């Protein structure tokens, strides 16, 4: 299975390898579009508002997220509204603040809130790096559910470069799980070649279009005077500094599944949290890309 959170990768897969690669891609919506469904669905219901009365803005690390939000799959025909109405990058947020003459350190902090109700007391994060932690979460879950093994720390084995790494679960010398992360198009092309030759040994691959993943996304703020390597290390440190949570242990997530989605594997969860992909015919030119 190939991760589905990165629209840069999905667009490439649909345009370049279409019907060959699509069946291998997880149908789970990206975090942005899951949030779109929650805001225009769950949150709208909580507020007794129709979805078209809510304007949903996300702040994202890349411009591809704008294209993702504009896919017809994420348009509500009944209410003529998108699940995500506006996407701005972190760099654009800074530019907007500069245009308004506002400096973030001078702004009074306000309490965090959450779409799932109640006030968050502190900012949370997830384990598994700055691109969503899909590999680590799926690896731990699969090890526990399929083999009854609780995984402690995860050891990555770099392959060709730091953006192509492997993680394995072994028992008595037998490989039970073999996962990988492949970031950047050079590694993605390598991965696709392996798949085409029938020589891809991985059960799951966290695929991301940007080298170094989302923290290095094209829409991120570029700091003056810092080398891109130092800047990335600083962003990684900051991203990992909040307390990491395990999603299924979060009480609000549990309640959401129980009350609104009707259980972990319900038909409603399938409908709300999953999407589909579309092979783009080869005759479409670069000026006629379908999203």
Residue 195: Cβ within 10 Å count: 17
By the rule CB under 6 A, 51 interacts with ligand SF4: no
Which of 51, 61, 128, 129 binds ligand SF4 (CB under 6 A)? It is 61
By the rule CB under 6 A, 208 interacts with ligand SF4: yes
Q: Whole-number minimum distance, CB 6 to ligand SF4, in Å?
A: 3
- Which helix or strand (DSSP H or E) is residue 96 part of? helix 90-99
Q: Whole-number minimum distance, CB 8 to ligand SF4, in Å?
A: 3
For ligand SF4, give the closer residue by CB, 138 or 212.
212
For ligand SF4, give the closer residue by CB, 133 or 217.
217
Query: What HEC string does 223-261 produce?
Result: CCCCCHHHHHHHHHHHHHCCEECCHHHCHHHHHHHHHHH
By the rule CB under 6 A, 6 interacts with ligand SF4: yes
Which of 14, 64, 163, 231 binds ligand SF4 (CB under 6 A)? It is 64
* Number of residues counted as binding ligand SF4 (CB under 6 A): 13
By the rule CB under 6 A, 205 interacts with ligand SF4: no
Residue 43: Cβ within 10 Å count: 19
| CB proximity list for 203: less than 8 A, separation 6 or greater | 1, 142, 177, 178, 179
Which of 89, 213, 275, 277 binds ligand SF4 (CB under 6 A)? It is 213
* Cβ proximity of 64 and 209 under 8 Å: yes
Q: How far is Cα 83 from Cα 142, in angstroms, rounded to an integer?
A: 30
Which of 2, 3, 4, 8 binds ligand SF4 (CB under 6 A)? It is 8
Q: How far is Cα 70 from Cα 52, in angstroms, rounded to an integer?
A: 15
Interface residue list for ligand SF4 (CB under 6 A): 6-8, 61-62, 64, 131, 208-210, 213-214, 217
């Amino acid at each position: 299975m190939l991760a589905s959170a990165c629209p840069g990768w999905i667009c490439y897969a649909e345009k370049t390898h279409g019907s060959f690669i699509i069946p291998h891609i997880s149908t789970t919506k990206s975090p942005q579009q899951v949030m779109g469904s929650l805001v225009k669905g769950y949150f709208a219901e909580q507020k007794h508002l129709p979805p078209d009365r809510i304007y949903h803005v996300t702040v994202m690390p890349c411009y591809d997220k704008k294209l993702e939000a504009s896919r017809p799959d994420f348009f509500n025909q009944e209410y003529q509204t998108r699940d995500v109405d506006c996407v701005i990058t972190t760099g654009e947020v800074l530019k907007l603040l500069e245009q308004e003459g506002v400096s973030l350190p001078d702004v009074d902090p306000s309490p965090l809130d959450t779409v799932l109700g109640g006030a968050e007391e502190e900012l949370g994060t997830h384990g598994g790096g700055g691109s969503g932690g899909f590999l680590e979460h799926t690896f731990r879950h699969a090890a526990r559910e399929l083999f009854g093994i609780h995984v402690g720390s995860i050891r990555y084995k770099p392959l060709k470069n730091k953006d192509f790494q492997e993680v394995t679960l072994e028992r008595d010398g037998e490989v039970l799980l073999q996962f990988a992360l492949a970031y950047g198009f050079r590694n993605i092309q390598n991965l696709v070649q392996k798949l085409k030759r029938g020589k891809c040994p991985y059960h799951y691959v966290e695929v991301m279009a940007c080298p170094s993943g989302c923290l290095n996304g094209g829409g991120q703020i570029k700091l003056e005077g810092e080398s891109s390597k130092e800047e990335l290390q600083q962003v990684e440190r900051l991203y990992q500094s909040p307390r990491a949570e395990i999603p299924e242990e979060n009480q609000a997530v549990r309640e959401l599944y129980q009350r609104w989605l009707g259980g972990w594997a319900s038909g409603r969860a399938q409908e709300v949290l999953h999407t589909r992909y579309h092979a783009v015919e080869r005759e479409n030119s670069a000026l006629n890309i379908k999203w």
